[in-house]
Amino acid sequence: MTSAMKIRHDPVFVSSLLFTIALLFRVPECLSNAAYKDALLQAVGFASLANILVGLVVVWTGFVRRYRWAWLVMFIIVSVWAFPLLVLPILHGKIDVTFVEWLAEAWHWPGSARIYGENIVLVSIMVVALLLPLKSFFWKP
| pLDDT at 141 exceeding the cut of 70 | no
Nearest to 31 by CA among 53, 63, 9: 53
Tallying the residues shown for the chain, one arrives at 141
- pLDDT for 139 equals 83
Task: Render pLDDT for 7-41 as a digit per residue (tens, 0 to 9).
Answer: 556 899 999 999 999 999 999 999 999 998 889 99
Q: How confident is the model at residue 1 (pLDDT cuts 50, 70, 90)?
A: very low
Q: How far apart are the first and last CA of the chain?
A: 30
| pLDDT at 126 exceeding the cut of 90 | yes
Cα gap 71→53, rounded to integer Å: 16
- Give this prediction's pTM: 0.81
- pLDDT for 8 equals 58
Task: Render pLDDT for 63-117 as a digit per residue (tens, 0 to 9).
Answer: 889 999 999 999 999 999 999 988 887 777 666 666 677 677 777 777 777 788 8
